[in-house]
Chains A and B, each alone.
Chain A
């Protein structure tokens, strides 16, 4: 198993963000996590990336617990997990190419090799020829694709997606989803995607995990979860899909 989240709990003061969440992601598998706002989806991704510490439970990556890791080990772990944020989180002062190169070069890859890989990643998200532009000169969809390229360039076994289309207008959502679906189909990397895009889940996910109030309330293939909804939350998503 590439990722195993085992009964992870997290509180922010009195508020329970994660109430013993467990899930797995196999290599090349696409798992979509869905749930209402504030149910703990983003917190779960940050715990997996060690951007946030959790209170109880454990997370295993490639069979190793990541809780005890510190310093260089955590940084190495992060380089194996591409992270795509809702608001892109591009470095505004750097060009598109430098944004993609940043993790590679500072991770120790020779500049030439890194540049070759960065250009390939940009081509994969249909941004070839935009290398010299700066984020401020791009549309939202392009900026998110740069962020995807930056994560992809690391060639990570797992990619974490934190509502990658939530900050985009509907026209631009499609171009990002297209890239994501391509990636999912390629099975080149495991994907844990937090999104509200039911259509994407149905089309691209291997499994769907429904999260409500910090707990997993349903889990299974999208056809099962949305086709024979067992929970109120699943029913709402099913109705949304039907409309």
Chain B
């Protein structure tokens, strides 16, 4: 404390304190200014709290059309409903919607978002209900339960479901904490056990539910399996997966004598379209086929082509004679594929046996139907289409032989377009009606009569007299009608099986299938399998269980009930999160704290360089050792950075008190070591002051600081300096 008997050192301590306060204020002010600016931006983006209830995101190109549709939608909610177009972000125009207060009710809100699909360019929405909390990651069955329970909580005004979340609108901000706690108890105190069976038709959900209920007693809460749209989609995808699996080329390898058997996951190399067979010890050529073996349901190994393409019959070198489909009693689409070589570390290994390739895709292209998994509906459709085309050709030949091919092609294209547009059976009928009308028109032109006045009769060839032609046209048209009706019915049946929009997808897939390479087809199948929920995309059951049951025990109980082949997934029931605005504000708060942290670092560094480097340099000339000066620098650094950081409310992620102290000490030591360079002092003047009997404080005040860098210390020092 004797140090502080000298006025200079008291003022120095005051300067350190002022630096901390001013630095903290500056850092906090800078961060707050940024916070305010970002807050303004957030308000520009999200509106004032409670001002809007919903943001509708629309693709930028549809903005005008979407605005008109949204105006129409909002008009239904009365004149007090508000529609405001906000900023465009990342290609999305954002429309802010506010409902009259009396209409902020769950059914109204859920109906409103249900109708947003009608908005052109609709690309999602975000609730802006405030104050609110959101429970996300909910299974459909749990979602309904949580929505019901949340709506019943005290302080909750309503709960709306959307996606896999439930947004809970609170009566006031004061309810946020208790409602958040209650919601957490609702979801975090529960867990969901999901069971999936690999194949369709496998598993017995009811018995699993009963077994798990019996095993867990009151800890079993509910069966929350939902026969929802997602389930139907999964089933449709599973059907598509199985269909693709039926079309993808398969490889069977018969082990050769002495060869070690292949295992699932191993890969083999086949010659494929390459001019030469694989050579052991060399890497596979690009045209070689690489096949990955997998365990089939019957336990045998079946390979899928993961690289290369099964060439068309007769196209591959050296295999022309054997390239016919179904050769050698292998069945349609099956061909011998030569010797299979094991692939070891990317290099062709020893031969493992003879391979046979089975390609239902090529069988389909050739008119065969080798694989029941490809689907009866498809076969019917193909057959019906073929008959329709024949009939149509006959009609056109009858009416206008010269223009036949071109017009038929146009009609076929029109039909294909209608089908691909996804309009299903009605589209098919519409297109066929066009064909019929055209045919009638041409018949009328050929006979010189009004095509709609007299019906034609069957049996008369084209180019004869008018009555005979009409009779022939009528017969042809009757046959055409029958064929096309069958085609329409087949399409309709397929549409029902695949769901809305599925027909167009199936036609797309059909068109692409014949162009796809085998390895692409394998990848497509794998992709669809992934989208369908993996191999286990058949029956499914979801059980809500108390969170008090250990996950391992729950899995054991469920597996016991469902069988070993079932896939069991244990997950949390959901997660409670703040509202989007709260998330944004929280993010801004993080930014503010980080900016304050950087500000604190800058302020501390500036103070050390401008004020304290002078003093540290002088201390070295006043007899302090280098180590002592470094220690003083470290202490100053800790004090300044720690003080400014703490008081400014700074918080850089990952920078706890220890890190901040270490950073301050490091900064201080660095400044101490570089002090003479940062703020040179004149040692001869310091020595003169010592020789005159001046104290260290007097030397600093009158000799050192006045010629040091301008800073807070030099400012404060002016007050008491005696020599100007």
A230 contacts the other chain (CB 8 A): no
Q: Which residues of B contact A77 (CB under 8 A)?
A: 693
Q: Considering the chains assembled together, what is the distance between the CA atoms of A5 and B722 in angstroms?
A: 37
Q: Which of A24-32, A102-110, A125-133, A184-192 contacts B (4 or more CB under 8 A)?
A: A102-110
User: In angstroms, how far is the closest chain B Cβ from the Cβ of A242?
Assistant: 36
Q: Which residues of A contact B723 (CB under 8 A)?
A: 94, 98, 101-102, 105
User: In angstroms, how far is the closest chain A Cβ from the Cβ of B328?
Assistant: 100
Q: Considering the chains assembled together, what is the distance between the CA atoms of A107 and B691 in angstroms?
A: 12
State whether A75 touches B695 (Cβ < 8 A). yes
State whether A51 touches B687 (Cβ < 8 A). yes
B606 contacts the other chain (CB 8 A): no
Q: Which residues of A contact B687 (CB under 8 A)?
A: 51, 85, 89
Q: Which of A65-90 contact B (CB under 8 A)?
A: 71, 75-79, 81, 83, 85, 87, 89-90
Q: Which residues of B contact A76 (CB under 8 A)?
A: 693
Q: A51-B690, A150-B692 are in contact. List 4 more A-B contacts (CB 8 A).
A: A71-B2, A83-B691, A83-B692, A106-B692
State whether B692 touches A93 (Cβ < 8 A). no
Interface residues on A, range: 20 to 34
Question: How many B residues, CB 8 Å from partner?
Answer: 20
In the complex formed, the residue of B with least CB distance to A84 is B691
Q: Which residues of B contact A94 (CB under 8 A)?
A: 723
Q: Considering the chains assembled together, what is the distance between the CA atoms of A103 and B689 in angstroms?
A: 8
A137 contacts the other chain (CB 8 A): no
State whether A51 touches B691 (Cβ < 8 A). yes
Contact string, B690-721, partner A, CB cutoff 8 A, digits 1/0? 11111100100011001100000000000000
Q: Which residues of A contact B693 (CB under 8 A)?
A: 75-79, 103, 107, 154
Tell which of B690, B703, B722 touches A91, judged by Cβ atoms closer than 8 Å.
Answer: B703
B264 contacts the other chain (CB 8 A): no
State whether A91 touches B688 (Cβ < 8 A). yes
User: In angstroms, how far is the closest chain A Cβ from the Cβ of B694?
Assistant: 5
A92 contacts the other chain (CB 8 A): yes
**B contact residues vs A (CB 8 Å cutoff):** 2, 682, 684-685, 687-695, 698, 702-703, 706-707, 722-723
Q: Which residues of B contact A92 (CB under 8 A)?
A: 682, 685, 707
State whether A78 touches B722 (Cβ < 8 A). no
Q: Which residues of B contact A102 (CB under 8 A)?
A: 689, 692, 694, 702, 723
**A contact residues vs B (CB 8 Å cutoff):** 49, 51, 71, 75-79, 81, 83, 85, 87, 89-94, 98, 101-103, 105-107, 150, 154
In the complex formed, the residue of B with least CB distance to A79 is B693
Rank and list the top 9 A-B pairs by shortest CB-CB distance, nearest first.
A103-B692, A89-B688, A79-B693, A78-B693, A83-B691, A75-B693, A89-B684, A106-B698, A98-B723
Q: Which residues of B contact A89 (CB under 8 A)?
A: 684-685, 687-688, 691
Q: Which residues of A contact B722 (CB under 8 A)?
A: 105-106
Q: Which residues of A contact B692 (CB under 8 A)?
A: 78-79, 83, 102-103, 106-107, 150, 154
State whether A103 touches B694 (Cβ < 8 A). yes
Q: Considering the chains assembled together, what is the distance between the CA atoms of A172 and B690 in angstroms?
A: 27
In the complex formed, the residue of A with least CB distance to B687 is A89
User: In angstroms, how far is the closest chain A Cβ from the Cβ of B721?
Assistant: 11
State whether A93 touches B684 (Cβ < 8 A). no
User: In angstroms, how far is the closest chain A Cβ from the Cβ of B690?
Assistant: 6
User: In angstroms, how far is the closest chain B Cβ from the Cβ of A106?
Assistant: 5
State whether B688 touches A93 (Cβ < 8 A). no
Q: Considering the chains assembled together, what is the distance between the CA atoms of A235 and B277 in angstroms?
A: 109
Q: Considering the chains assembled together, what is the distance between the CA atoms of A150 and B702 in angstroms?
A: 16
User: In angstroms, how far is the closest chain A Cβ from the Cβ of B406?
Assistant: 103
User: In angstroms, how far is the closest chain A Cβ from the Cβ of B700?
Assistant: 12
Q: Which residues of B contact A83 (CB under 8 A)?
A: 691-692
Q: Which residues of B contact A101 (CB under 8 A)?
A: 723
State whether A87 touches B694 (Cβ < 8 A). no
State whether A78 touches B682 (Cβ < 8 A). no
In the complex formed, the residue of A with least CB distance to B722 is A105
**Contact status of A78 and B691, CB under 8 A, knowing A102-B702, A105-B722, A106-B702:** yes
User: In angstroms, how far is the closest chain B Cβ from the Cβ of A201?
Assistant: 23
Q: Which residues of B contact A75 (CB under 8 A)?
A: 693-695
Q: Considering the chains assembled together, what is the distance between the CA atoms of A78 and B696 in angstroms?
A: 14
User: In angstroms, how far is the closest chain A Cβ from the Cβ of B622?
Assistant: 11
State whether B684 touches A85 (Cβ < 8 A). yes
Q: Considering the chains assembled together, what is the distance between the CA atoms of A92 and B706 in angstroms?
A: 11
In the complex formed, the residue of A with least CB distance to B723 is A98
In the complex formed, the residue of A with least CB distance to B707 is A93
User: In angstroms, how far is the closest chain B Cβ from the Cβ of A127?
Assistant: 17
State whether A78 touches B688 (Cβ < 8 A). no
A-B contact pairs, 5 of them (CB 8 A): A79-B693, A91-B685, A98-B723, A105-B723, A106-B702
State whether A93 touches B694 (Cβ < 8 A). no
User: In angstroms, how far is the closest chain B Cβ from the Cβ of A220?
Assistant: 29
Q: Considering the chains assembled together, what is the distance between the CA atoms of A89 and B690 in angstroms?
A: 11
